[in-house]
């Protein structure tokens, strides 16, 4: 078994597969990667000559990657992470993308001297349009943070926070956020259908409008509020809709309550 790959990916399902796809499309050399995953690359559809190990027991004892990324389900971590404790001698940084698993829980499994980065990505990472937010413990070096930044830049934007408690609102805004946007598409589609549009047309109008508006908001320097005001003529159709959406029980209050609920849930689930 070859053992010199600097980047080890443990778990290659939906999110691990998205990361791997991003790394391969963004110039990371196949020979720099090793995947540890019981199903191989079968779940991902990725065709590659990367070394894949189905059982971590097959890794050499002197295996010493620079970075070990855990992309397994949170409930699998307690049994999976300790298997990689012995590879600490090479000074790897351990990165976890598991929702709700704190840095302290990894320190318990790997030792207080381990360099740990907790990252919250989101599902648009699968098309290279995600956003990943990282938070590290004090053992992580600037070079290791830079390496982590490079890895997650391959699947979208990145940001860092210093205070781990902020991972709960981050999870509530960007981790769970894609679901809110999909719901917006669904609701806009249904409203269009109720107003007389054929379903396929309504869905296409909703999807393209959400995608195009998001892209516009990212591309221009104006704030989202300015962009909204620019398309709202007094007494016009947009103003009529916004009177409803921005009313007493409108979207701002609703979104506030939704993010509060998700943040509270994330705090309860964290361990
Ligand atoms: N998907 C998302 O939207 C999303 C967003 C943010 C964060 N995350 C985080 O990403 C992590 C992975 O989620 P996912 O949706 O990608 O899950 P997933 O599709 O189930 O992928 C996890 C993979 O890891 C494999 N695995 C299990 N035990 C393993 C072991 N000992 N060594 C190596 N691989 C092992 C699983 O195989 P089996 O199926 O046979 O167990 C599965 O193929 C989770 O911690 C989740 O919280 C996911």
Q: Whose CA is nearest to atom 38 of ligand 1?
A: 38
**Domain span holding position 34:** 7-167
Pocket test for ligand 1, best of 8, 13, 168 (most atoms within 8 A of CB): 13
**Residue 107 shares a structural domain with residue 208:** no
Is there a single domain that holds both residue 150 and residue 183? no
Do 79 and 160 fall within a single domain?
Answer: yes
CATH label of the domain that carries residue 118: 3.40.50.720
244 backbone dihedrals φ, ψ, rounded to 5°:
-75, -50
Asked whether residue 38 falls in the same domain as residue 157, the answer is: yes
Global pTM reads 0.90
Ligand 1 centroid – CA 13 distance (Å)? 5
pLDDT of residue 4: 55
Residue of 48, 75, 51, 76 whose CA lies nearest to 65: 51
Residues 127 and 218 in one domain: no
Q: Tell me, what CATH number does 187's domain have?
A: 1.10.3730.10
- Does any domain span residue 172? no
Predicted pLDDT of residue 91 = 87
Of 252, 258, 3, 9, the C-alpha closest to 154 is 9
| 11 and 110 both lie in a single domain | yes
Tens-digit pLDDT profile for residues 25-58: 888 899 899 999 999 998 888 888 899 999 888 8
- Number of folded domains that form the chain: 2
pLDDT along the chain (271 residues), means of 10: 72 93 88 93 87 88 89 94 87 93 95 96 92 97 94 95 96 96 98 98 98 97 97 95 94 96 91 76
Atom of ligand 1 nearest to the CA of 96: 45
pLDDT attached to residue 3: 47
Q: DSSP letters along 145-163, please? A: HHHHHHHHHTTEEEEE-S-
- Does 38 share its domain with 101? yes
**Which atom belonging to ligand 1 lies closest to the Cα atom of 83?**
31
Residues flanking ligand 1, CB < 6 Å? 10-11, 13-16, 36-39, 43, 71-74, 76, 80, 97-99, 121-123, 175
The C-alpha atoms of residue 33 and residue 155 are separated, in whole angstroms, by: 16
pLDDT of residue 100: 87
Residue nearest to atom 3 of ligand 1 (CA): 123
Which of 97, 5, 20 has the alpha carbon at shortest distance from 51? 5
Final residue of a structural domain among 103, 135, 167: 167
* pLDDT tens-digit readout, 71-105: 999 999 999 999 999 887 788 999 999 988 999 99
């Amino acid at each position: 078994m070859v053992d010199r790959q600097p980047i080890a990916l443990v778990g290659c399902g939906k999110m691990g597969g998205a990361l791997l796809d991003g790394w391969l499309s963004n110039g990371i050399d196949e020979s720099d990667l090793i995947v540890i995953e019981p199903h191989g690359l079968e779940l991902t559809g990725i065709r590659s000559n990367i070394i894949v190990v189905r059982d971590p027991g097959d890794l050499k004892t002197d295996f010493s990657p620079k970075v070990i990324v855990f992309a397994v389900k949170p409930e699998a971590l307690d049994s999976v992470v300790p298997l990689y404790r012995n590879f600490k001698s090479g000074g790897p940084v351990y990165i976890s993308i598991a929702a709700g698993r704190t840095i302290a829980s990894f320190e318990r499994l790997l030792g207080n001297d381990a360099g740990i980065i907790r990252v919250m990505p989101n599902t648009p990472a699968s098309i290279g349009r995600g956003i990943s937010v990282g938070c590290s413990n004090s053992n992580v070096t600037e070079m290791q943070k830079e390496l982590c930044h490079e890895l997650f830049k391959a699947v979208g934007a990145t940001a860092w926070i210093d205070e781990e408690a902020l991972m709960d609102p981050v999870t509530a805004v960007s981790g769970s956020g894609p679901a809110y946007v999909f719901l917006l598409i669904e609701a806009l589609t249904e409203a269009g259908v109720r107003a007389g549009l054929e379903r396929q047309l309504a869905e296409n109008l909703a999807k393209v409008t959400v995608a195009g508006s998001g892209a516009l908001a990212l591309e221009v320097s104006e704030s989202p509020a300015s962009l909204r005001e620019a398309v709202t003529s007094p007494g016009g159709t947009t103003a009529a809709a916004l009177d409803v959406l921005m009313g007493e029980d409108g979207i701002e209050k609703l979104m506030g309550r939704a993010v509060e609920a998700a943040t509270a849930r994330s705090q309860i689930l964290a361990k």
